[in-house]
Amino acid sequence: NLIFIASLLLGTTITISSNHWITAWMGLEINTLAILPLISKSHHPRAIEAATKYFLTQAAASALVLFSSMTNAWCTGQWDITQLTHPTSCLILTSAVAMKLGLVPFHFWFPEVLQGSPLTTGLLLSTLMKLPPITLLYMTSPSLNPTLLTTLAIFSAALGGWMGLNQTQIRKILAFSSISHLGWMAIIIIYNPKLTLLNFYLYTMMTAAVFLTLNTIKVLK
User: Is the pLDDT at 221 greater than 70, yes or no?
Assistant: no
Is there a contact between 91 and 97 (Cβ–Cβ < 8 Å)?
no
Q: Which residues touch 105 (CB under 8 Å, ≥6 apart)?
A: 152, 155
> What confidence score (pLDDT) does residue 145 get?
86
CA dist 221 and 208 (Å) reads 17
pTM of the model: 0.92
CA dist 61 and 162 (Å) reads 26
Among 26, 34, 45, 32, residue whose Cα is nearest residue 6: 34
> What confidence score (pLDDT) does residue 159 get?
93
Q: What percent of the chain has pLDDT over 70?
A: 99
Give start and end residues of each alpha helix (H) in the chain.
Answer: 2-17, 21-39, 45-76, 87-101, 109-115, 119-126, 131-140, 146-165, 170-191, 193-216
Is there a contact between 67 and 49 (Cβ–Cβ < 8 Å)?
no
CA dist 23 and 8 (Å) reads 15
CA dist 79 and 69 (Å) reads 7
CA dist 61 and 28 (Å) reads 10
Interval 119-156: pLDDT, tens: 999 999 999 999 999 999 999 988 888 899 999 999 99
CA dist 102 and 135 (Å) reads 15
Interval 28-78: pLDDT, tens: 999 999 999 999 988 889 999 999 999 999 999 999 999 999 999 999 888
